[in-house]
Structure 1
Amino acid sequence: MRVTHQLPNIFTAVRLAATVPLVRHIRGGRTGLATSVGVALWAATDWVDGALARRMHWESKVGQALDPLADRAGISAIAWTLASVGEIPRRVPITVLVVDVATALLTSKAAYRGHLSVSYLGKVRSAILFVALVMAASGPRKRGRLGRLPHALADLGAVLHIAVGVGYIRTAHKGDGRGHWTH
């Protein structure tokens, strides 16, 4: 496989690796425009890797496994860190973590067999969470009139995260009643 075919996976790997310095930066109490731009660039790699993979037909098993891992790990880590410095409610990362663990436990067989795919609501949820994280990373002084909007968006993202998780779990357990897939 040519290197160009690996570009989506490279963007995903960069997103995963960039999570650590972003979290350290935020944990140091540094929020503001630079942090917000960093989180926005981090989030943008999710769109870039997906667009490249779909449009160029560069999908891969590695990407199908790595992309959701990078999303879940990054969203969780950045949300936890922003909650720890008071930029979003703690209930958001707690909800994300609980739903992610439950979904992973209850859908792993179906996911491994390729019976799950990303839902439209899942994409909307991710976009809302990404926007909330970017806004929260700007810090309270930079938000001005937007004030608590990142909190509201993060809460909305958490509610949608529950709905998406339930949808994946329901899809994973649609079978012939004995856990066998009929198609």
Structure 2
Amino acid sequence: MAVSFPVANVLTLVRMLMIPLVVVLFYLPYSWSNPAAAIAFILAALTDWLDGYLARRLGQTSRLGAFLDPVADKLMVAVALVLLVSHRSQDLKLIPFNPDLLITLTAAIIIGREITISALREWMAEVGARGKVAVSSVGKLKTIFQMTGLSMMLFRSDVWFVPAYEMGVYCLMAAAALTLWSMVLYLKAAWPDLMRSGAL
């Protein structure tokens, strides 16, 4: 009997396969390469919303999808941050700080938080309290700022008169602030379980 593969999972796999495409486009020696990388990143990010919508709409939620979806998201963000940190930033007239240091610290905060919360969720699942660290509204808002900022920074060029790269940096800074806030909320929710006898 044929086994159907949920279309939502197909989109998630497509999103993962687009990650190396973003990397290749970003480093191509052409004027259009960075905008193309940004567009590929945006399309990949849109599949994140679409696969979740289709999974619920078609009743095709699955354990595999629940595993792959956050993995794809974290890979996208981590790779994009590595690209931006490894590529010397532009001169930012609207930001009175060392942009390379600022972007590196922001990337470290975001990646460090993802590692921390992933470990926390794994531990909470082991004690049967995974629901206490489910994605919150703050986490969703963080994702919006994060994906918007990364897209604008990968684009690297101004869009008409709009300084897209600099605005992207500000969006990423806001995402870093929200990511710390959401981490505090998750840790606060998990703290009673962490403090129980034998947890520490």
TM-score norm. by structure 2 comes to: 0.77
- 1:85-143 deviation per Cα after TM superposition (whole angstroms, max 9, x unaligned): 22671222211111112222233122464424221221111111111111112113446
Q: Secondary structure at the match of 1:59?
A: coil
Contact 1:33 1:142 in 2 (8 A): no
What is aligned with 1:56? 58
144, 160, 174: which one pairs with 1:127?
Answer: 144
The 1-side partners of 2:150 and 2:197 are apart by 38
Q: Secondary structure at the match of 1:145?
A: coil
What is aligned with 2:154? 137
The 2-side partners of 1:99 and 1:176 are apart by 18
- Report the residue type matching 2:156 in the other structure: G
Stretches of structure 1 that go unaligned for 5 or more consecutive residues are none
The 2-side partners of 1:81 and 1:12 are apart by 21
- State the aligned residue count: 179
What is aligned with 2:134? 117
Stretches of structure 2 that go unaligned for 5 or more consecutive residues are 91-98
Same amino acid, percent of matched pairs: 22
Q: Structure 1 residues 111, 146: CA separation in 2 closer, same or farther (over 3 Å shift)?
A: farther
- Report 1 or 2 for greater relative contact order, CA contacts < 8 Å, sequence distance ≥ 6: 1
Q: After the TM superposition, which parts of structure 1 deviate over 6 Å for at least 4 consecutive aligned residues?
A: none
Contact 2:37 2:155 in 1 (8 A): yes
Q: Deviation of residue 35 (structure 1)?
A: 2.0
The 1-side partners of 2:163 and 2:72 are apart by 29
What is aligned with 2:175? 157
The 2-side partners of 1:15 and 1:150 are apart by 22
